[in-house]
Structure 1
Amino acid sequence: MMHATSSHGGTQAAAAGTHQSTEGKGMAVRDRVGLLDIIRGYVKRGAPRTSTTLRGVIDLARADRDKIDSIGRRVQRMAHRHPERPAVRDARRGLSYFALNQLANRWAHWLREQGVGPGDGVALLMENRVELLAAVTATIKIGAIAGLLNHNQRGEVLGHSLGLIAPRVILVGGECHEAFDSVRDDAAAKSAVLAWLADGDDAPVPEGQTDLDVASAMLSAADPAEVDRIKAGQPAFYIFTSGTTGMPKAAVMSHTRWLRAMAGIGLASLRMRPSDVFYCPLPLYHNNALTLAWGAALGAGAELYIARKFSASGFWEELRAADATVFCYIGELCRYLLLQPERNTDRDHRVRAAIGNGLRPELWEAFQNRFGIPHINEFYGASEGNLAFTNTFNVPGSCGFCPLPYAVVDFDASEEMPVRDKRGWMRKVKRGQVGLLIAEVSDKAPYDGYTDASASEKKLFRDVFVEGDCWFNTGDLVRDIGMRHIQFIDRVGDTFRWKGENVATTEVERAIDMRDEVDESVVYGVEVPGADGRAGMAGLLLHEGAAFDGKVLADHLCEQLPAYAVPVFVRLLSRVETTGTFKHRKVDLKKAGFNPARSDGDPIYVLKDREQGYTPITDGDIQAISSGTLRL
């Protein structure tokens, strides 16, 4: 048996976590007793909705890939048992579970008439609205796979995603005609049946497309027979990666994984009830929305309210109008809400819980206190992954608890590979240390992967602790904080090495974001001629009207961070490029580096002297850095 080995010791992997912000240090030293006290206190208070929690745990334990069960079957069951309950709503219309099931059934019969069958792809290009959820339900009811396209994409990127779905049918919302026109001539589009759905207006049906509402109006609303033949292990969706480091990949989401999320997070962790209203401001092409939000609502027979788009200024007004009790978030969404002017209505809502991922520890308390949210249910998971953590016990700063087999292993950031010992085995880090999170692949925790088999295999480690075992590489660095809880630290590709130490970009961003004049920060590593590793560079979006003081910022960062983690360069951004789910696009920033000629006019500063602070970079500075006469 042969393995890649590393000459770096195990202490290197923990470097990203040994010099943390005050929040990070608190979590790092939290011992097992401390977490146990939190859990005991939670139980002692009489954990609310315990019957719902128990039901979720039972459903989670019963999940079986070979069992006849599916998301469509769950929609049908709710429609037959509680037809009058509201199922889904947006600003324009709402559907009961009976009406949702009837509409989905008619569309499912139309799809079948177009030759769509089990395993076929159906591409859905629509913005958030009730009809998109009905189209997803229709597709999966006949065993087909719903490909949720990112409606923000255009041209080559959208065409690439469309090709991965290989659709028999493409359903386009009237609001996305421009996006579809950019790929109309692609082979995947030309070979598919084209359907169209109006967006609540009288826009004409485009040439070559079929009005789905009209074509299906007279079709049967009976439940398709295929529902009773679909096994839980079959694919349900294609969820696309954000494409921040290359072309998007299509992660396969099975019914099993969706149903487990419904049970483990929606019922056991969030303890949803029929009286709840789940407000979803995230795009349905993202798993936080399609799986967590919809799964939580459907599992309890509650209502899902779908916002068309996220609006920081209009968020609470729409949430109150929806009478929501739960909402989902991405960490950046919470920061955008905190940046809004404080209002005396900030706590005027019925929200009892928020669920999401990426809420930074330094924002956690401020967000929870300002908006009066009792339970922050941070979770950890990935569209292509095979496990999830959920903050059931409301532990501040934690991604939560996971009952499935996982390990946090020693990691070499310079090689971007886990460390193997002389025998070829990986080794786990100690509690409080940072390492790579990996998850065991087994019958109980299967790996569905991507549509691309080679891309799927690249995410797996084999022969990790014993010969023949298989583990999924999450690509994330986390801290093991004990009691099977973790704290997220950084993405592997974002952590870089400088002056022989590992620098976690999220830790640097946390320190920068403490400054009132900074609205948003993006930290990344850039190549420096003749230097080992990458120098830290911070892109800053300043608050409107705020001035940049290089001395003040340098003093602050030198106080908050170890010397090697203080960014060498600063770029004042005119805007921050993000994906539809608020992930930063760092590729172009890394390519531009610290050269003002490639910064689109953004000012660039360099830290040559910590006493002087950040000063504007000059041509002489660049020459000195390139020649090695200026050592950073």
Structure 2
Amino acid sequence: MTPDDLISPLRFLSRLPVHLPRVPRMLQGLYYAGIRNRDKNLSLAWALERAVQQNPDRPALMDEGRLLTYTQFNRWANRLAWAFKAEGIRHGSVVAVMLENRLEVLAILAALSKLGAVAALLNTTQRGKVLAHSVNLVKPDIAVVGDELLAPFSEIADQLDNRALGRYWVADQDCLADAGQSPDGWNNLMVLARRQAESNPPDSAKVRMKDPCFLIYTSGTTGLPKASILSHGKWIKAYGGFGHSGLTLNNQDVLYLTLPCYHNNAVTVCWGAALAGGAAIALRRKFSASAFWPDVQRYRATCFGYIGELCRYLLNQPPCPAEQDNSLRCMIGNGLRPSIWAEFKQRFGIEQITEFYASSEGNIGFTNVFNFDNTVGFSPATYAIVRYDLENDRAIRTAKGFLEKTRKGEPGLLISEISAKWPFDGYTDPSKSEAAILRDVFKKGDAWFNTGDLMRDIGCKHTQFVDRLGDTFRWKGENVSTTEVENVLGSYPGVEDAVVYGVEIPGTNGRCGMAALRLQPGQALDGEALARFLDRELPAYAAPLFIRLLREVETTGTFKYKKTDLKQAGYDPQQVGDPLYVRLPGSSNFQPMNSELHTALEQQTYRF
């Protein structure tokens, strides 16, 4: 943190005149963010239908070959909603959804929201046991799967608790033009919807803020994914905070979206921001750094959704003609590092960076409403940053048993008060929800959500993200559970113990995986075989890039791995006497790590 990052009252007040034209929308956003009555009939469906009334003929969605107005998109969602209803889907029904980024997935999610049904957003990169666990965890009534993901879903059929799960198929093409022929055993969802009514179903007017909207999978410290409940109320708070107060897009704007639609950033933050202003979303299947600027030019995009890694990829690209005098004026996302913030803003001419902080399961969000640099912004919620003991991994309590707040600029644990205004929806597993709550924090009987993140107060209710706590690290925009990776490595032949942690590579965002392994006596590391195994068993973002071979593994009295020293030593041969290995970008093998390779990594010779 630099002195320039601190926000004094005078500095804050000097910024206000520039934002005066936005005040009405900002106040509107604060209204939605602060609604206490969770029985109120506000929802994603309500927001969509409101946008349709206000912008019936304006573009709502587009891709390379299609453009739908708000009226056309809403009619499609209505036909799907009536089709789901005819198939028995009702208020509270859980529907597992697994499609890649295309217009069909947003139409399906809109349809489910109109019925008050709950969409479980399956991560499209999950495979095998992890995918089966994610499906079984939420006990869905039916599953909707795109043809592009039919193979991995079919592979887990015998691992599902409900073998008779209703299965609905969506062709991998423009389903409005041709619904395709579904495979044996699958219902063709788009054919079922073809002759349904185009009117808004009456159910949409009955969906309340307290009702679940999405189940979003999050990797925690307990191994396999957890399903966090994102209520319509929380979606509406994002619609207000990010859409009305933060970005204030209008019906002339186009938001370019490459983030996967199983992410909260895509379906809540970006979609909510677009609907709040009647803006269009230009959707791309997968992010491509080389295609980014040509796409921005094609769609005349004025905004885009980001994660920090995406921004780094763009900076690493050589300048191209399409980025010159581009149409972008703002961006919304999280994880943009202070080290590249100014460079990114200057090179690409971005006027407004709406960095935010939020989590799928939490009850607090920050938004960079006033466009300061290097901050996640402001939050109207009741929160505190408290002193934290990193070595013993716990919040520090005073002699009286309470927590104490940090000083301005001092890192600490971010916690947020749980109240009627800021409820905690938690996880599908009540025990996981209770584990995330701190009680008797500042007085007997109070309850606060433990975000698990280190933040610092930089003044005027603005904060700066510092780091993520616990046995989770973030790489390639994804949270990686060390326990999950440790379990996978533990099943590899010859591995006695596996300790996984995150380490930083210069010039990258987040932390990549490193594994310290203790092999069985007489075993040697086969780097190529291990790489093949990891590719088969884990998503690319979760697979460790560094290996350290240990003679002994230190544990605590409760048999938890001691990771502090391992993290500090990282992959530096000068600090590690044990054998070290690295998997370089594009390589199918782990090769020995030496001082020359370490220097090359420090000098950012390789792009991870």
TM-score by length of 1: 0.77
**Distance across 1 between alignment mates of 2:515 and 2:154:** 37
Give ranges in structure 2 of 5+ residues lacking alignment: 474-500, 517-547, 555-561, 602-608
Contact in 2 for aligned 1:439/1:471 (Cα 8 Å) = yes
Local SS of the residue matching 1:574: coil
Partner of 1:117: 90
**Distance across 2 between alignment mates of 1:281 and 1:62:** 31
**Distance across 2 between alignment mates of 1:576 and 1:403:** 45
Aligned in 2, Cα 1:523/1:215: closer, same or farther, shift over 3 Å?
Answer: closer
Partner of 2:409: 432
Local SS of the residue matching 1:268: helix
Shift of 1:254: 0.5
Q: 2:269 aligns with which of 288, 292, 312?
A: 292
Partner of 2:313: 336
Q: 2:584 aligns with which of 570, 574, 579?
A: 574
**Distance across 2 between alignment mates of 1:519 and 1:473:** 24
User: Within 5 Å, which residues of 2 pair with 1:530-541?
Assistant: 533-536=564-567
Contact in 2 for aligned 1:462/1:470 (Cα 8 Å) = yes
Deviation string for 1:297-334 (max 9, x for gaps)? 11111111111111111111112212111111111111
Contact in 1 for aligned 2:582/2:590 (Cα 8 Å) = no
Partner of 1:522: 512
| Matched residue type, 2:45 | G
**Distance across 2 between alignment mates of 1:615 and 1:304:** 40
Q: Does 1:415 align with 2:392?
A: yes
User: Within 5 Å, which residues of 2 pair with 1:458-537?
Assistant: 458-493=435-470, 509=504, 512-513=506-507, 522=512, 533-536=564-567
**Distance across 1 between alignment mates of 2:600 and 2:157:** 49
| Matched residue type, 1:375 | Q
**Distance across 2 between alignment mates of 1:456 and 1:31:** 34
User: Within 5 Å, which residues of 2 pair with 1:187-206?
Assistant: 187-188=160-161, 190-200=163-173, 204-206=181-183
Contact in 2 for aligned 1:536/1:569 (Cα 8 Å) = no
Aligned residues: 529
Shift of 1:603: 2.2
Shift of 1:189: 5.6
Local SS of the residue matching 1:269: helix
Partner of 2:136: 163
Partner of 1:357: 334
- Name the Cα RMSD after superposition: 3.2
| Matched residue type, 1:210 | N
Contact in 2 for aligned 1:494/1:524 (Cα 8 Å) = no
Deviation string for 1:582-619 (max 9, x for gaps)? xxxxxxxxxxxxxxxxx953322479xxxxx9799xxx
Partner of 2:485: none
Local SS of the residue matching 2:204: helix
**Distance across 2 between alignment mates of 1:70 and 1:318:** 31
More deviation in 210-219 or 184-193?
184-193
| Matched residue type, 2:166 | V
| Matched residue type, 2:250 | R
Partner of 2:188: 211
Q: Does 1:601 align with 2:578?
A: no
**Distance across 1 between alignment mates of 2:95 and 2:168:** 11
Partner of 1:232: 209
Partner of 2:246: 269
Shift of 1:567: 12
| Matched residue type, 2:73 | L
**Distance across 1 between alignment mates of 2:139 and 2:355:** 35
Partner of 1:40: 13
**Distance across 2 between alignment mates of 1:520 and 1:462:** 30
Contact in 1 for aligned 2:221/2:472 (Cα 8 Å) = no
| Matched residue type, 1:263 | G
**Distance across 2 between alignment mates of 1:573 and 1:347:** 36
Local SS of the residue matching 1:136: helix
Local SS of the residue matching 2:333: strand
Shift of 1:270: 0.9
Q: 2:78 aligns with which of 91, 105, 114?
A: 105
Contact in 2 for aligned 1:102/1:221 (Cα 8 Å) = yes
Partner of 2:297: 320
| Matched residue type, 2:567 | G
Shift of 1:188: 4.6
**Distance across 2 between alignment mates of 1:317 and 1:569:** 45
Identity %: 40
| Matched residue type, 1:393 | F
Shift of 1:462: 0.7
Deviation string for 1:505-530 (max 9, x for gaps)? 99x848x32xxxx8996376969759
Partner of 1:136: 109
**Distance across 2 between alignment mates of 1:396 and 1:383:** 24
Local SS of the residue matching 2:413: strand
**Distance across 2 between alignment mates of 1:442 and 1:525:** 40
Deviation string for 1:326-346 (max 9, x for gaps)? 111111111111111122432
Q: Larger relative contact order (C-alpha < 8 A, sep ≥ 6)?
A: 1
More deviation in 279-288 or 318-327?
318-327
Shift of 1:77: 2.6
Aligned in 2, Cα 1:393/1:118: closer, same or farther, shift over 3 Å?
Answer: same
